[in-house]
Amino acid sequence: MKSFRGDRTIDGIVVTVDGRPLDPRFDLKAYTKNRYEWGYEGAEPTQLAFAILNEHLGDTAKAQALAPAFMRAIVANFSNEWELDGADIDQAIAALAGAAASKN
């Protein structure tokens, strides 16, 4: 199961998946021209949400569809240091699906 980590260091923001840098996947979808960010709602956190979801799901279309809601529910609430694993992401996706279903 993949492990995602983020940290604000003296050298800047570091986001990894299983210890290697997480690709922001601008080639698939660019919500911003900047790198990713977290801790608020916006384009940079949406880019991070998309990158995490794309890496986890391996499905660009699904990652793009889920990214805005995942950003608002999860990424916007990250603190300076955070960690997610695949089970955390699956749980968040299920909660988002449940919330969407209850609105309909």
pLDDT band at 3 (very low <50, low <70, confident <90, very high): very high
More confident residue, 1 or 24: 24
Domain coordinates in residue numbering, the chain: 3-103
Structure tokens given for 35: 């790198």
Local confidence band at 101 (pLDDT 50, 70, 90 cut-offs) = low
Alpha helices (runs of H) in 7-84, residue ranges in sequence order: 43-57, 60-73
Strand partners, 84: 4
Q: Cβ atoms within 10 A of the Cβ of 73, count?
A: 16
| Mean pLDDT (whole number) for 19-26 | 96
CA 89 to each of CA 4, 44, 73, 86: distance values in angstroms, whole numbers, following the listed order? 10, 19, 11, 5
The sign one gets for the Cα dihedral 58, 60, 61, 62 is positive
Residue 61's pLDDT is what? 97
Q: Has this prediction a pTM greater than 0.75?
A: yes
C-alpha radius of gyration, the chain, whole number:
13
CA-CA distance, 29 to 45, in Å (whole number)? 13
SS3 content of the chain, % helix, strand, coil (to 5): 50, 20, 35
pLDDT in tens, 42-99: 999 999 999 999 999 999 999 999 999 999 999 999 999 999 999 999 999 999 887 7
Per-residue pLDDT tens over the stretch 28-45: 999 999 889 999 999 999
